Amino acid sequence: METDKMKRTWEKDILLGTAVGDALGFPVQFLDRATVQKEPVTGMHPWHSVWSDDTSLSLCLADSLCGGYDLQDIGNKFVDWLYEGLWTPKGEAFDIGITTDRAISRLANGYPPREAGMDRERDNGNGSLMRISPLVPAIRGFGREEQERRIAEVSSLTHRHPRSVLACIFLCGFELACMEGQALPEAFARMQRRVAELLETERFREEAPHFERLLHLDYASFKALPEQDVRSGGYVMETLEASLWCIFNHDNYRDSVLHAVNLGHDADTTGAVTGAVAGMLYGYASIPQEWVDALARKEDIIALADKLDAVLEK
């Protein structure tokens, strides 16, 4: 498995996977599940192939990582996205979450990047989880503590609450385990054990109730959850759980992502996170070509992915 994975370009898998999932879900964003499933998404809308902030901020992160790991530079790219339209599909930022907006405003006003993110209980939307996956290939060669430190820092640029940070650690750690060749059940179990350890530390101890279902159901039981028990709003834990559930219940990119966006509510972000994981698992070649061809700025996304892949191979 590892040999086959190494032949692929991880960033192309993740960035195209994210952008396609985002674009598929964006036209039905905020519609409730019953409404979406009356006329479910079956493919890319020919008139609506733009992606939202999920992809834009993922691209900003990838762009910054081309120059190495520099938290201030990542923050600067986020500022340029919000105020200058960097890595937007049509030259202007839109669909901006409240927590992300406030944090980037603080970055623009000179807050240190490690202190800019919002850290209140109410600041646990999915705004850092949606953009964290491009970091994963860049931290593969580090030890676990350094990996988790960088994940926490990149999340904390906008979402500094321990719950959001720990959700990002779970997702990225799961992706890293899959990249190393672990099957889905083993990767899931590995992160259950690691997050359980982190919940014993002072920083994360109070978050245990919010991770209870994710940590106490084994792979088969989590996969078997009925759809009505899987929520898909903008709360970080809902997005993490819904994305993993869609991945576990399908064995290909297309079906994983379509199921994700057809859960409704925050459909673009559930689609983006599911798309990042499914792209990583199955490769960008598994994404229906007509969906990729329809993407706004497709060639720019591919060029950025190739650039970062070349940097990370050195």
pLDDT tens, position by position, 273-287: 999 999 999 999 999
Inform me whether the pLDDT recorded for 79 exceeds 80.
yes
Residue partners of 214: CB distance under 8 A and separation at least 6: 170, 192, 195, 222, 237, 240, 241, 244
What's the mean pLDDT when you consider all of the chain?
Answer: 95
- Residues annotated in a binding site for Mg(2+): 52-54, 266, 268-269
Whole-angstrom Cα distance, residue 138 to residue 265? 31
Residue range 179-218, pLDDT digits in tens: 999 999 999 999 999 999 999 999 999 999 999 999 999 9
pTM, full prediction:
0.97
Inform me whether the pLDDT recorded for 4 exceeds 50.
no
- Residues annotated in a binding site: 52-54, 266, 268-269
Average pLDDT over residues 211-235: 98
Q: How confident is the model at residue 47 (pLDDT cuts 50, 70, 90)?
A: low
